[in-house]
Chain A
Amino acid sequence: MTPLLSIEGLTVELSTGDRNFEAVSDITLAVARNEVLALVGESGSGKSMTAMAIMRLLPEPVADIVAGTILFDGIDLASASEAALRGIRGNRIGLIFQEPMTSLNPSIRVGPQVAEVLRLHKGLDAVNARRRVEQLFEQVRIPDPRRRYDDYPHQMSGGMRQRVVIALALACDPDVLIADEPTTALDVTTQAQILETFRDLQASVGAATILITHDLAVVAETADRIAVMYAGRIVEETTTEQLFASPRHPYTHGLLGSIPHVADTDATRRGDRLPEIAGTVPALWALPPGCAFEPRCPRASDRCLSERPPLAELAPGHKTACWHPVETAA
């Protein structure tokens, strides 16, 4: 598959007050049409910063792309002009944020908000734009779309608002979809509904999709491929099946073991201690010279202290940045 979006060596620097540090370091990624790539990490891992960089929505001048390219259809988004970006954002690249109110204007009715995008990017007239919006609302399963067209965002539930945001992101049949924690703010039954809608529509539009989340279970059920981020870098990348079957990076391995997911058997006894990852996520401005995970890693050696491990293909289609990867289960 030829990638639709390919990122190479992306590095984002943050400057806050007296500190200068990299929030995203040397990220290389590619997503193909019809593919869902998940970027997984904890707060401060750089996953959202990567998404903002792709859209060139970084809070400048605090954050800035200092190296790398973001190639989309022959255009380098990292260096494209603001005018060129305006034609791409919300049109050929759709965006879904965690909090729907980030994307919606609270003082404009939801239908006209989506219609506006269609008029702007697709040149539809008022009548056709409205017709298309009603269709979109139906596709994202908003009940009674004609009536809801004239709702203000605050008149809708969180789940319905997120459906409007999905409709907005898909309005122009985007080639690329970026979803940043699209269901994190939602309750579990609403999350399941929204994820189902998201997956169905993503598949029917065929957009190359980057899903950003901290929730490994959501990823397991949604993504084709996963890149795990830690302290601004990708530490492991492979297919979803492979990552869950045999995680190689000690961080991924630790995370999968330590999170109590709902179990469908009584296998784990109540009160059993969970395997823990020791320590805390390091501050990005005080990273150790070697591997950023070294202070928390049960497998660390002297080499990890001084030398940063490169992201290397340890098995076909499975990259890991570790000097002492976890042995495969098979």
Chain B
Amino acid sequence: MSTLLDVKNIAKRFTVSRGLGAKPATVHAVDDVSFTISHGETLGLVGESGCGKSTVGKMIVRLLEPDEGEVMLAGEPISHLSHRAMRPFRRKVQMVFQDPNGSLDPRQRAGDIVEEPLVVHGIGNAAERRARVENLFSRVGLRPDQMTNVPSKFSGGQRQRLAIARALALNPSLIVADEPVSALDVSIQAQVINLMSDIQREFGLAYLFVAHDLGVVQHISDRVAVMYLGRIVEIGDTSSVYLRPSHPYTHTLMDAVPRPDPARRHHRPAIARGEVPSPLNPPSGCAFHPRCPMATYICRQERPLLRRVASGAEVACHHAE
């Protein structure tokens, strides 16, 4: 598989006010993050709230510009392109959000919502576009007669199908999906996950699947990256990261997820201590060291870099083997 997306050392800093008279502080929301995604591949990006995973997604679709580093799409650097120069690349990268209500115009009719990207990019004439929209509707499991409805006439699951149809309109190579099923009822989630898998096969799509739900990510991802306080701490094949986690944080995360297994009521793994530190004041060295059972002197002094370990994953830990 050839590389579609190459993210190189991107960083994003935000300035936050600390109240009257206090000097504003800088938060490193994302720091030195690199990864690649191949054609047709799914990379899951996981981590707890505030770890920077959504910020990474936004930098890839250019909702945010990285302060450092570069995003390469099909070999071209796109992070600092002008609006106009970005156009051909916009077609290739689309985004699906957690809350379809926030991303769908409530007054627009569903058919127009899906057609809009085609109009903006000057694709086809009215009849061709309509045929394409009809086609997309049936592809995502909506009925063509629903094209005249406004979003409020749709259920949550149907609205997410609509958002997926719009994302598909321009035949993208990559979809950045930020928590695409977490707002849906549990009995609806499987429908949308299956739809995403089906269209991936059919259109050869690659996904950056950003989510906090580790079960969903394990199901859908070829590879997984785990973030902690703005950095990737482990990245590798899904089975390496889930079944043989090498970073102590990944371990903690996997142990903490509840399983549908009543036997675990009586044999539960040990629970991580402490809380995620404030990104305003991150710990020295390895950001996980205050919570890490393996931490030693070097972990407080030196930030570990990603390196390949026995499981095959790349891990940022001084003590991983």
Contacts and interface: CB of A to CB of B under 8 A. Distances in A.
Interface in B217-245: 218-222, 238-239, 242-243
Contacts, number: 146
B145 interface: no
Interface stretch (A19-27, A71-79, A270-278): A270-278
Sort chain A's interface into a size bin. Answer: 35 or more
Interface residues of B, number: 49
- Of B48, B189, B220, B260, which is in contact with the most chain A CB atoms at under 10 Å from its CB? B260
A259 B218 contact: no
Nearest to A191: B256
Contact of B212 (A187, A196, A221): A187
B186 A157 contact: no
B23 interface: no
A254 interface: yes
A260 interface: yes
B212 A188 contact: yes
Interface string B247-288: 000001111111111101100100110011000000000000
Contacts of B305: none
Given A220-B262, A262-B254, A187 B193 contact: no
A277 B193 CA distance: 12
Q: Which of the listed residues A190, A196, A260, A274 has the most CB atoms from chain B within 10 Å of its own CB?
A: A260
B100 to A, nearest CB: 14
Contacts of A244: 260-262
A110 B287 CA distance: 29
A258 interface: yes
A58 interface: no
**From DSSP, what is the main secondary structure of chain B's interface residues?**
helix
Contacts of A276: 190-191, 194
B243 to A, nearest CB: 7
B119 interface: no
Given A220-B265, A263-B218, A280-B188, A159 B275 contact: yes
B49 A187 contact: yes
Given A43-B185, A159-B275, A192 B219 contact: no
A147 interface: no
Contacts of B264: 220-221
B194 A187 contact: no
A124 interface: no
